[in-house]
Amino acid sequence: MKLHAFSLCLFACTACAFEIDDFLDQLDTALTISAFQDNLRARLSGTLDLEIYHFEQPAPGLIDSKIDTLFNPRLTLFLDTQIGSQIYFFAHSQLDRGFDPSDHGAQVRLDEYALRITPWEDGRFTFQAGKFATVVGNWVQRHLSWDNPFINAPLVYENVTAIRDKYAPYSPADFIYGPYYAQKYAFNPVIWGPSYANGFSISGKLGQFDYAIEMKNASLSSRPESWLITENGFENPTFSSRVGFRPNEAWNFGFSASEGPYFRREAEPTLPPGRNIDDYREFVLGQDASFAWHHLQVWAEFYEARFQVPNVGDADTFAYYIEAKYKFTPQVFGAVRWNQQLFGTINDGFGHNDQWSPNLGRIDIAATYRFTPHVQLKLQYDYQHETTGEGEDNHLVAAQFTIRF
Amino acid sequence: MRWRGLLWCSAILPLLPVALLASATVEGRVELPKSHSAPVQAKRYQIVTKGGVLSTQPPLAVVYLDGTFPEPDSLPTKQVTQKDLTFIPALLPVRVGTKVEFPSLDDTYHNIFSYSPAKRFDLGRYRPDERPVPSQVFDKPGLVTLRCDIHEHMRGLILVLNTAYFVMTDTAGHFRLSGLPTGHYTLKAWIDSKTTREQPVDLKNGQTLHVDFP
């Protein structure tokens, strides 16, 4: 009976969605303009996401909420502009409750804007300047709600560690055990989401190889506030790069590296005397692979990261995930992802070696139903388990309804 | 001997397909929409991007004779190619039952799909050198919108018709539809998903009729 009702509901939604589909196609045409004999073209597009999360406290990942059930609507707008054959400009703005899901009030941000120049048609060299996602890894290409098979990011992009970018720990014990007295948002993951920091990049393709190098104003672990050029200049830049190898359309392999200081300016007074934020850096090495053939897509990323921590030494971590998506029918697809993050040990100053954050594993399972080319519904369940430390578990159930225009 | 020949002819004639006897022609002009699509490719998260701009597609119409016509024994296979991140042709009229192949000439993946009620399919990602070339048989009349799951700007249309008599206009809207059966029919001009114009026509043997769709 319930299945019947659910099928009827899906059918009704599909019928209704087809009604608005025509309207969205017309809207798309209306929001695409061209001038100067098509040498200037611009397209305004976007997504409306309505998300509901239900979880146990403390909230998992970068979710910042004191309540267990969180409603998180988000309006995203994109502007893509092509000027001639060599210049491309894009901007990406969001109206939501915060860069990461939160119970805060509404805010509007300009998350990305960049100017790209491609002098040669074969793509051997491209220059880009602005505020844009990192070139590291392969998750960025699918991080937006319509393309992401999941509602959240892989663990390495959202699991907060004991690293704090606003003040330095005063002892190893404070570093290892200190997290429990502070707010979660005081800490940082290895890579903060797509890392929309400001800077410049060059990239290109040479045969089966591609390359990308970027200079940004903030490290990969930096919080969204640090990405702003008004908050953080280029005095202490971060350099990141990726070399890719694509033997054919199905396979893609990449090697990434990143290096840069991770403390914010306000942390300077808390650093040991004579030291500055440039002395404490985040090093990341990454390997990524992806495979796609017919209705199957598989991605994997492996990251080894080291943080130089004042009064502590080097804090090492290794994180990886393997993700697969399969389209069962033209409108239904499922995805599963296994994530794990392991932490090195540090001497706590009292003769004991202890891990600087608990090891943990997380499995994510998601299913998506596309009503039309513009409307989709995604459901997700995560189970996260700490394999060391307190051994805490967390369950997350989430739903995301997206309209793309 | 002469009478016997005539008798044979009168016996065989009703068995011949209508098309073999067709001889009427219709020509004219369809008023096409002024706008044309100049697509913009979203390259935000592509590490490697090529220069160049996407080709623009001028609006075209399909003119066809509506009616009930005999089923053909076989239909030629048609193709919609993916080249330079564009469907070529952008609009393809086919008869019901036609098989359409989707070869890719790009050095990147595409993922063609359609959610149109007339044909729902998803070809997935396939390499350009894969054989057989992925195809679909279009067995229901209607408009099928082709899209690519990877390249959001890509749009193609397949107009599946219940008739053997159709032709595409040129970019100025001119058309000529010949070899038509005689009789009373409706001539239709499909202009876009919302607009199909029609006019009744009386087709006579050897006659060329002029019909405009203003």
Q: What are the tens digits of pLDDT across the range B144-184?
A: 999 999 999 999 999 999 999 999 999 999 999 999 999 99
Closest CA to A404 of A88, A39, A33, A50: A50
Is B103 near chain A, with CB under 8 Å?
Answer: no
User: What is the CB neighbour count within 10 angstroms for residue A58?
Assistant: 12
pLDDT at B8 over 90: no
pLDDT at B17 over 60: no
Question: Which amino acid would we find at residue A11?
Answer: F
Q: What's the pLDDT at A319? A: 98
Q: What's the pLDDT at A58? A: 87
CATH number, span B19-198 = 2.60.40.420
Chain A residues with beta carbon closer than 8 angstroms to that of B43 = 80, 88, 90, 116
Closest CA to A371 of A8, A3, A12, A1: A12
Chain A residues with beta carbon closer than 8 angstroms to that of B194 = 22
Contact A38 B108 (CB under 8 A): no
Rounded CA separation B96/B82 (Å): 22
β-partners of residue A300 are A289, A322
Contact B38 A41 (CB under 8 A): yes
Instruction: Note whether A263 and A271 are within 8 A (CB).
Output: yes
DSSP, res A56: P
Contact B47 A133 (CB under 8 A): no
Q: What's the pLDDT at A100? A: 94
Length of chain A: 405
Residue spans per domain, chain B: 19-198
Could you tell me which chain B residue has the CA closest to the CA of A332? B122
The 10s digit of each residue's pLDDT in B96-145 is 999 999 999 999 999 999 999 999 999 999 999 999 999 999 999 999 99
Which of B45, B116, B129, B148 is the best residue to mutate to test the A interface, defined by the most A CB atoms within 10 Å of its own CB?
A: B45
Chain CA centroid to CA A195, Å: 7
Chain A residues with beta carbon closer than 8 angstroms to that of B115 = 330-331, 370, 372-373
Average pLDDT over residues B5-28: 59
Is B45 near chain A, with CB under 8 Å?
Answer: yes
Contacts A–B by Cβ distance under 8 A: 125
Which of A249, A375, A376 is the best residue to mutate to test the B interface, defined by the most B CB atoms within 10 Å of its own CB?
A: A249
Contact B115 A370 (CB under 8 A): yes
Contact A372 B50 (CB under 8 A): no
Strand, helix or coil for residue B80: coil
Length of chain B: 214
- Distances in Å between the Cα of B151 and the Cα atoms of A23, A65, A157, B85, B110 are 20, 36, 26, 7, 7
Confidence tier at B4 by pLDDT (50, 70, 90): low
Contact A141 B46 (CB under 8 A): yes
Could you tell me which chain A residue has the CA closest to the CA of B115? A372
Chain B residues with beta carbon closer than 8 angstroms to that of A135 = 47
| A242: nearest CB among B47, B50, B114 | B47
Rounded CA separation A191/A242 (Å): 15
Could you tell me which chain B residue has the CA closest to the CA of A201? B47
Is B108 near chain A, with CB under 8 Å?
Answer: yes
| B47: nearest CB among A80, A203, A292 | A203
Instruction: Note whether B65 and B177 are within 8 A (CB).
Output: yes
Chain B residues with beta carbon closer than 8 angstroms to that of A41 = 38-40, 53
pTM: 0.90
Contact B48 A82 (CB under 8 A): no
- Min Cα distance B41 → chain A (Å) is 8
Q: What's the pLDDT at A68? A: 93
Which of B55, B114, B115, B127 is the best residue to mutate to test the A interface, defined by the most A CB atoms within 10 Å of its own CB?
A: B115
β-partners of residue A304 are A285, A318
Chain CA centroid to CA A370, Å: 23
Contact B45 A141 (CB under 8 A): yes
| B108: nearest CB among A85, A140, A249 | A249
Chain A residues with beta carbon closer than 8 angstroms to that of B46 = 141
Q: What's the pLDDT at B1? A: 43
Q: What's the pLDDT at B16? A: 46
Is B34 near chain A, with CB under 8 Å?
Answer: no
Q: What is the pLDDT along chain A (405 residues), one digit of tens a residue?
A: 555 665 666 556 665 666 678 888 889 888 999 999 899 999 999 999 999 999 998 899 999 888 999 999 999 999 999 999 999 999 999 999 999 999 999 999 999 999 999 999 999 999 999 999 999 999 999 999 999 999 999 999 999 999 999 999 999 999 998 755 568 889 999 999 999 999 999 999 999 999 999 999 999 999 999 999 999 999 999 999 999 999 999 999 999 999 999 999 999 999 999 999 999 999 999 999 999 999 999 999 999 999 999 999 999 999 999 999 999 999 999 999 999 999 999 998 888 899 999 999 999 999 999 999 999 999 999 999 998 877 789 999 999 999 999
Rounded CA separation B143/B62 (Å): 12
Residue A243 has phi, psi (to 5 degrees) of -115, 125
